[in-house]
Amino acid sequence: MTARTTDIEKAAGVLRAGGLVAFPTETVYGLGANAEDPAAVARIFQVKGRPPSHPLIVHLGGAEHLDDWVEDVPATARLLAEHFWPGPLTLVLRRGRRVPLEATGGLETVAVRVPDHPVALALLSAFGGGVTAPSANRFGSVSPTTANHVRAELGNAVDFVLDGGPCEVGVESTIVDTTGGTPSILRPGGVTREDLEAVLGYPLAVPTASGVRVPGQHPSHYAPRARVVLVEPEKVVAEAELAQELGHQVGVFLPASFADAPVKAHAVVAVPGSMAAYARGLYGFLRELDRQGCDLIIASLPAKEGLGLAIANRLRRAAGPRPSSTGNAPRQ
Ligand code: AMP
Ligand code: MG
């Protein structure tokens, strides 16, 4: 589905007037504001319930705009931008003066990317500036991959929702920090580590903890209402049936290798064998199990190669300890 020209114009007008626009990208739907309007940027944090210290990504209409927004672009960053933009790769660089501190959570670095989606690119072109956007969901919850997910979660808190159909990639962008000597992956995502390494010609570090404030590094993030429990693939069926017998409403992520196993549970998701299809469906599956009233989701981690690294990262966070004492309450 492609948004109509009138919708793009309307959305660009909302951004110019300081409003918030939810828009599709190839990764997930973003909650966008004019990156140069601190009041509009502040509203993003308010609507998401996101702590103001957590930085956003500035979306640009093309790699040719990069130097307007950042300073000191290292050769590695140029190389990566050349290869992967437009695409699901976010580069962390030194903040240019055009970027207000509100958008970077007070950091002197800024995350930038050029999304690979016709509607996002049309919006960026019609608007003409940078659009700062995190995922269009409440802080900590499951990212939206359809316009309906955004409407269901944020409703009237957004001034305009651009519908561009379901997102192709389905998990967020890979974030690479290029401000240090050697680039490192801050968050695995739509561009695989293997693809990055093939272009760079050397192995990349994927730090488990870092001094940089990245919400994706919180123990609990990307989380549905239901509690998520991870077990070995061969134990998924037995654990799910036991929990169901104990009175839980169990949702099962049935691994592709066990696709034919009969399983007694409240709801079953057949996990796609292809990692691209799994990534595309992941957040929709989690939302669907919530919708069906599951209170517990039993899943296993895919092998951490290719897109499996990003999927495993999101599932581990979805299964992370929850801030609330009940464990199951939806977070604001
Ligand atoms: P989201 O988490 O989907 O809401 O989108 C924003 C992502 O970009 C978060 O994971 C941010 O922490 C990350 N990010 C933005 N700016 C920076 C930065 N300067 N350094 C590190 N990560 C950043
Ligand atoms: Mg997010």
Residue 328 has a pLDDT of 44
CA of 238 to the centre of ligand 1 (A): 38
pLDDT, average across residues 210-229:
73
Cα–Cα distance, 279 to 265 (Å, whole number)? 23
Mutation choice for ligand 1 from 23, 29, 41, 57, CB with most ligand atoms inside 8 A: 57
- Ligand closest to Cα of 216 equals 1
Mutation choice for ligand 1 from 110, 145, 167, 214, CB with most ligand atoms inside 8 A: 214
Closest of 167, 169, 137, 134 to residue 150, by C-alpha: 137
Intrachain domains 5-200 and 227-318 with the same fold: no
CA of 55 to the centre of ligand 1 (A): 5
CA of 190 to the centre of ligand 1 (A): 14
pLDDT at 47 over 60: yes
Looking at every residue in the chain, the average pLDDT score rounds to 93
149 contacts: CB under 8 Å, gap ≥ 6: 29, 137, 142, 283, 284, 287
Phi, psi of 254 (to 5 degrees): -80, 115
pLDDT, average across residues 297-309:
96
The sign of the CA dihedral 324, 325, 327, 330 is negative
Per-residue pLDDT tens digits for 149-189:
999 999 999 999 999 999 999 999 999 999 988 999 999 99
pLDDT over 70 percentage in the chain? 93
pLDDT at 89 over 70: yes
CA of 140 to the centre of ligand 2 (A): 7
Residue with tokens 């293997």: 194
- 3-state SS, residue 150: helix
Q: Which residue has a Cα nearest atom 1 of ligand 1?
A: 134
Phi, psi of 306 (to 5 degrees): 55, -140
CA of 235 to the centre of ligand 2 (A): 30
Residue 218 has a pLDDT of 64
Residues around ion ligand 2, judged by CB within 5 A, are 135
pLDDT, average across residues 43-65:
96
- Any residues with Cβ below 6 Å from ligand 1, and which? 54-57, 92, 104, 107, 109-111, 134-135, 172, 175, 186-187, 212, 214-216
- At 260, is the pLDDT very low, low, confident or very high (cuts 50, 70, 90)? confident
pLDDT, average across residues 296-303:
97
Specify the ligand 1 atom closest to the Cα of 221.
Answer: 2
Amino acid at 315: L
Provide the CATH number for the domain formed by 5-200 in this structure: 3.90.870.10
pTM of the model: 0.94
Cα–Cα distance, 109 to 296 (Å, whole number)? 39
Per-residue pLDDT tens digits for 14-24:
999 999 999 99
- 3-state SS, residue 6: helix
Domain ranges of the chain: 5-200, 227-318
Residue 88 has a pLDDT of 98
- Ligand closest to Cα of 217 equals 1
End-to-end Cα separation, the chain, in angstroms: 31
Closest of 126, 164, 96, 163 to residue 16, by C-alpha: 126
Q: Which residue has a Cα nearest atom 5 of ligand 1?
A: 134
The architecture (CATH level 2) of 227-318 comes to 3-Layer(aba) Sandwich (3.40)
Distances (CA, A) of 2 to 23, 122, 218, 232: 11, 10, 34, 41
Residue with tokens 């939806």: 330
pLDDT at 329 over 60: no
CA of 168 to the centre of ligand 1 (A): 21
pLDDT, average across residues 21-41:
98
Residue with tokens 């680039």: 183
Residue with tokens 């790699």: 63
Mutation choice for ligand 1 from 54, 185, 221, CB with most ligand atoms inside 8 A: 54
CA of 49 to the centre of ligand 2 (A): 11
